[in-house]
A and B are shown apart, each in its own frame.
Chain A
């Protein structure tokens, strides 16, 4: 059983396309995250949602638009992307317990922008 699922696993899109990445967590957590992992940079936090409210937007370009309709689902809407946006996009979730929480990650969506 996988606690955090992501779809699609692979996505190829042109620069003028609009697509969405989906993440679902089955762990009963109340915080969800989007990270970007590209070949030349360490894992970068993009967005954080806590109790469905966005609490962190890490200077991400507006061509990335997150949505968190409930505590189990997280989307990343993509439009007019650039080739440098090609990367592995990872979703994670966590639950604050005793002041600490562990983030559990999904398998990622590997995005290629042509």
Chain B
């Protein structure tokens, strides 16, 4: 069965610090997709990134970067020079195809990140 573990329940840092959110996954599929979503207090899940299992290149988008390591089944997310607006709950997710055209997302329990001014 698919499983996603986010061991850090809550993280609190001071603004401008770098912070890394950990994500470890389990799957028997050879082809799969990993995601990160951000959930601000408003409740909406905001898509941040999708990574497929064949692409282990790290990705950087502004202050955000992602480190995908298949050997350790990890897909970690780093925020550089954190800002108060980064405060949210962050979810890592793994996709499981149901049928052609639809997938099921298996979510981790989320990491609540608080950036203090």
Contacts and interface: CB of A to CB of B under 8 A. Distances in A.
B50 interface: yes
A34 B33 CA distance: 20
Contacts of B1: none
A105 B44 CA distance: 6
B104 A48 contact: yes
Interface of B: 31, 33, 35, 37, 42-47, 50, 52, 91, 95, 98-105, 107-110
Query: Taking chain B's interface residues, is the majority helix, strand, or loop, or is none over half, making it mixed?
Result: strand
Nearest to B33: A100
Contact of B102 (A50, A102, A105): A50
Chain A interface residue number, banded: 20 to 34
Contacts of A45: 104-105
* Most B C-beta atoms less than 10 A away, residue of A31, A56, A100: A100
Nearest to A110: B43
Interface of A: 30-31, 33, 42-43, 45, 48-51, 55-56, 88, 90, 92, 94, 96, 99-108, 110
A30 B91 CA distance: 24
A104 B99 CA distance: 18
Contacts of A43: 91, 105, 107
